[in-house]
């Protein structure tokens, strides 16, 4: 597990716009991995929706975030980036969370400089804490990582673009990098020219956010090869998993409810087969363990 952080660090250092989709649970994480992606992140937006059916406005308890993150890390082999929102409080709280993440085998972490309770980065009404306070959190996290001998990647996100503009966002990004962050993330950055300026003026790795890779929200939808050509290190695609899940479930259960027969006979395109799903989650392997270790099943029809 400890090697995953080094793997992520090496992939980001290429500055080739590494796509890092967000997942909302262990199953969505494994699906993203099976599609071929090199790394994954836990989506705070997705956790709020899947766990509580509520918006991403700081309502998920940190203990739940850490528990689900642990499930996700165990479910996949690729590097996982955690999302700790504003760090659980002050710099001391943020440092303690880093200890937990290193123990869990997390490869990277996203922390942001919003006022708590935070908002999803593409919502209106955001506020940011003083830059020096955020730098203190980053410094405490980096010192803890160093003490533990970890390669954990710290991604410091600033939401200052929406509040004070690009110049302030770049200033904060450099301050956080100087404090020990490995990568800076300007959330909600708007246009291609803004991204190019940020790549040029930020003294380190830059991450940008394409939200769902389908529609532009705050940030212009730019092809990933073009972002790679600009020198962007990471492309966050944080909300697609929960939005796809919402649409698929909505479409299926509305069709089922509206069907005169109460069934959808033959519409197999709507779902994975039972056999394929149980194979994906590893049922055959567990059945083999049962045959090996449960005497009552030895020789029984399987």
pLDDT of residue 194: 95
42-46, 151-155, 161-165, 274-278, range with the lowest pLDDT: 161-165
Report the pLDDT averaged over residues 93-116.
96
Asked whether 231 and 224 are in contact (CB, 8 A), the reply is: no
111-115, 120-124, 242-246, 281-285, range with the lowest pLDDT: 120-124
Q: What is the mean pLDDT of the chain?
A: 93
- Measured in degrees and rounded to the nearest 5, phi and psi for residue 27 equal -65, -45
- Measured in degrees and rounded to the nearest 5, phi and psi for residue 236 equal -85, 130
pLDDT of residue 1: 41
**pLDDT tier at 27, thresholds 50, 70, 90:** very high
Q: Show the domains of the chain with their CATH numbers.
A: 3-245 (3.20.20.60), 272-302 (no CATH)
Nearest to 234 by CA among 6, 1, 14, 5: 14
Asked whether 207 and 233 are in contact (CB, 8 A), the reply is: yes
Rounded distance between C-alpha atoms, residue 233 and residue 212, angstroms: 18
DSSP codes, 39-85:
-EEE-HHHHIIIIIS--SSS-S-HHHHHHHHHHHHHH-SS-EEEE-T
Per-residue pLDDT tens digits for 188-198: 898 999 999 99
Per-residue pLDDT tens digits for 228-272: 999 999 999 999 999 999 999 999 999 999 999 999 999 999 999
**pLDDT tier at 122, thresholds 50, 70, 90:** low
Per-residue pLDDT tens digits for 41-79: 999 999 999 999 999 988 999 999 999 999 999 999 999
């Amino acid at each position: 597990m400890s090697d995953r952080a080094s793997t992520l660090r090496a992939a980001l250092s290429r500055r080739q716009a590494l796509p890092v989709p967000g997942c909302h649970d262990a199953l969505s994480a494994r699906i993203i991995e099976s599609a071929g992606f090199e790394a994954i992140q836990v989506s705070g937006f997705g956790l709020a929706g899947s766990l509580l059916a509520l918006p991403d406005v700081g309502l998920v308890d940190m203990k739940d975030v850490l528990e689900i993150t642990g499930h996700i890390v165990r479910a996949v082999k690729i590097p996982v980036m955690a999302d700790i929102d504003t760090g659980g409080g002050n710099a001391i709280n943020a440092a303690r969370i880093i200890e937990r993440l290193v123990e869990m085998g997390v490869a990277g972490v996203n922390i942001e400089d919003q006022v708590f309770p935070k908002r999803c980065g593409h919502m209106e009404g955001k506020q940011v804490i003083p830059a020096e306070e955020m730098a203190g959190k980053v410094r405490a996290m980096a010192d803890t990582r160093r003490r533990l001998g970890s390669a954990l990647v710290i991604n410091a996100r600033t939401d200052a673009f929406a509040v004070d503009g690009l110049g302030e966002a770049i200033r904060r990004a450099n301050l956080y990098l100087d404090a020990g962050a490995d990568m800076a993330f300007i959330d909600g950055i708007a246009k291609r020219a803004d991204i190019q300026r940020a790549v040029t003026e930020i003294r380190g790795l830059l991450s940008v956010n394409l939200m769902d890779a389908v529609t532009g929200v705050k940030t212009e939808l730019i092809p990933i090869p073009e972002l790679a050509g600009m020198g962007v290190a990471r492309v966050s695609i944080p909300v697609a998993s929960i939005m796809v899940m919402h649409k698929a479930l909505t479409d299926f259960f509305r069709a089922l409810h509206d069907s005169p027969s109460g069934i959808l006979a033959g519409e197999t395109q709507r779902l994975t087969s039972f056999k394929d799903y149980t194979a994906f989650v590893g049922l055959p392997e567990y059945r083999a363990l049962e045959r090996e270790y449960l005497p009552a099943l030895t020789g029984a029809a399987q």
